[in-house]
Amino acid sequence: MTPIITHSAAFFFVFDSVLLQSCTRSDMSLDDGSCRINICNGLLLYYHQYSFYSQKVLMALHEKKLPFESCIIDLPKGGQYEPWYLQINPRGEVPVLQDCGKLIPDSTRIIDYLEDHFCIADIPKLIPMEEGFEVRQRITYYRHILDQIPAGILTMGSFFHPELVKRPKAPFLPPVRKNFIRTENNRSEILKAHAENNPECRHILLKKLEFHERRHQIVTNKEEFLSVLNQVEDVLDKVEEELASHNHKNQENWWLCSNTFTVADISLTILLERLNQLGFECAFWKDSRRPNIEKYYKRVQERESYKKSIPNIFFHLKTVVRVKPIAIGCAVVAGMFLIVGGFFIIRKMM
């Protein structure tokens, strides 16, 4: 895929006392959906909780136990196309890490940056240099093949080809899936409207539109989507083989490439999580299809970094309520009628 834009992101300050005050909060999104707080002495992550690439960076930050502030970009509402955010990342994508005055876009670059700049003393390492050349090579290899899987196409394609999906889970339940399809189908119009309303970002947004239309053709084409699923199949075969080769070792202490948790494990964990949520776990590992991956996925869910990076059931519920407030309201009222009605019927019968 060709890069959308290559010039570096501009950086701007808003010296406003209210904004300065909110700089101390851990989530610095403002009520109008913006987050123009660029004054921060530490790490600030622009992200979205359900974004695949954001989850990778979150997991790296939590693995390394680094404190950070956060600013949530409302992707479903097009927060990434707002002019202030396009100045932070002209690609209009999350995640972006801000380290004092420096802006670092792209999950792989962010994780490498964290590894390079936060590697002193007792900060856990995600690329253990001391384990030697062979381990490092394995980490690079697995990270590379895992990161080559186009997660956006995998996710969106599964909504357009539901016949290929068995059991989608939260957050990708039917109302959310429908919402994603609607947003995807309207994205060209959304981008055109943003380009019209923001002449200073027109060029960037029209490039993004071009990119979106190319991607849309791919996600809606079944053959193309099947070839992405085949790519996943090939990568998971290699992962399964690698994990199986550790069977003679103490598996409780062993991850994908080493007995420490590495960047390759982050790529694998977030991929498995996404496949599971999309409803592909039966196709790819459940029921002894790939027993080592199944075991690995169970084990990784016990890690603190996983629990802190992947939204839990309460967060999913909030999301579904936000997407379908009327339907949920009706369901709650109907449920109450059923309970109260049932209560009276039972009383009459007694």
Ligand X SMILES: N[C@@H](CCC(=O)N[C@@H](CS)C(=O)NCC(=O)O)C(=O)O
* Residue 49 makes contact with ligand X by CB under 6 A: no
Q: What is the 3-state secondary structure (H, E, C) of 76-113?
A: HHCHHHCHHHHHHCCCCCCCEEEECCEEEECHHHHHHH
How far is residue 50's CA from residue 291's CA, in Å, rounded to a whole number? 27
* Residue 75 makes contact with ligand X by CB under 6 A: yes
To ligand X, the closest distance from the beta carbon of 65 in angstroms equals 22
Decide if 337 contacts 302 (C-beta within 8 A).
Answer: no
**Using CB under 6 A, which of 93, 99, 115, 240 touches ligand X?**
93
75 vs 236 by CB, closer to ligand X:
75
47 vs 284 by CB, closer to ligand X:
47
Residue list 123-182, contact with ligand X (CB under 6 A): 152
Order the strands of the 96-99 sheet from edge to edge. 69-72, 43-47, 96-99, 102-105
* Residue 94 makes contact with ligand X by CB under 6 A: yes
Coil, strand or helix at 43: strand
To ligand X, the closest distance from the beta carbon of 3 in angstroms equals 10
How far is residue 299's CA from residue 264's CA, in Å, rounded to a whole number? 15
How far is residue 281's CA from residue 187's CA, in Å, rounded to a whole number? 29
93 vs 281 by CB, closer to ligand X:
93
Decide if 151 contacts 274 (C-beta within 8 A).
Answer: yes
* Residue 98 makes contact with ligand X by CB under 6 A: no
To ligand X, the closest distance from the beta carbon of 100 in angstroms equals 20
**Using CB under 6 A, which of 106, 131, 184, 242 touches ligand X?**
106
User: Cα separations (Å) of 83 from 69, 92, 281?
Assistant: 21, 9, 39
* Residue 107 makes contact with ligand X by CB under 6 A: yes
* Residue 70 makes contact with ligand X by CB under 6 A: no
* Residue 309 makes contact with ligand X by CB under 6 A: no
* Residue 53 makes contact with ligand X by CB under 6 A: yes
To ligand X, the closest distance from the beta carbon of 42 in angstroms equals 21
Decide if 131 contacts 147 (C-beta within 8 A).
Answer: no
**Using CB under 6 A, which of 40, 49, 76, 108 touches ligand X?**
108
Contacts of 345 (CB under 8 A, 6+ apart): none
* Residue 190 makes contact with ligand X by CB under 6 A: no
**Using CB under 6 A, which of 49, 52, 179, 242 touches ligand X?**
52
**Using CB under 6 A, which of 29, 34, 38, 51 touches ligand X?**
51
Residue type present at position 243: L
How far is residue 255's CA from residue 305's CA, in Å, rounded to a whole number? 15
**Using CB under 6 A, which of 79, 90, 92, 168 touches ligand X?**
92
How far is residue 229's CA from residue 176's CA, in Å, rounded to a whole number? 22
Q: Which stretch binds ligand X (CB under 6 A): 100-108, 175-183, 247-255, 323-331?
A: 100-108
Angle at 34 between CA 29 and CA 36, to 5 degrees: 85
75 vs 256 by CB, closer to ligand X:
75
Interface residues with ligand X (CB under 6 A)?
51-53, 75, 80, 92-95, 106-108, 152
